[in-house]
Amino acid sequence: MTNLNDNLTRVLILMASLARPVYIIVGATLVASAILLPLCRRTWLNKPSFSWLGIFCYQSPAGCVRIACAWTKLLVLLVLLAENRVLGLAEYLMLILPGLLYAALSKSPAAFAGKFMWTALETTGLLAVNILCGYIVEMKPDFGYVVIYALLSVFMGIFGIYLFLRELHAISMERRRGIDV
């Protein structure tokens, strides 16, 4: 019985550590939805603003899931970078699982391998930031290490935004080819 209580306690502690990132991600998604919904209602096909809102039109269910995975992956990366704490396995899984689902919706094994590689690079970069954060917290909080940590975090944030925009572009191009053909 004690083993069951210990395991339940570990799971609850793990869930409590994930609650804050999940709340931030849900909040950012709700804010983005509140901004995009009025824009979508006022936009018509011949307006210039339709060009970037048009990614949501004529989207297949798989395309919608891919957009959601890309968005979730970006927000998870940015939230974990901003939290400035040592991460555990659950936080890495929060980044890997949407990336795996995004890659699994690929149409070919080569596309799956490429998309999985980008997720692996993102996760490796987050691991490098986390190792440096752990070193600063536990060993030596020197100014030079803090500067390197900050620069690496900014680079990883920019890299995550780049991958998000790249994935949106790929989804848009696939949708465009599907409509034009």
- Residue 35 identity (one-letter amino acid): I
Question: Which of 52-56, 60-64, 103-107 has the least mean pLDDT?
Answer: 52-56
For residues 139 and 159, what is the distance between their CA atoms, to the nearest angstrom? 28
For residues 33 and 8, what is the distance between their CA atoms, to the nearest angstrom? 35
Q: Is 109 exposed, middle or buried (0-12, 13-18, 19+ CB in 10 A)?
A: exposed
% of the chain at pLDDT higher than 70:
78
Q: What would the pLDDT profile of 93-147 be if each residue is shown by its tens digit?
A: 888 999 999 999 888 888 889 899 999 999 999 999 998 888 888 887 788 888 9
Q: Inform me whether the pLDDT recorded for 75 exceeds 60.
A: yes
Contact between 129 and 156 under an 8 Å Cβ cutoff? The reply is: yes
Contact between 153 and 81 under an 8 Å Cβ cutoff? The reply is: yes
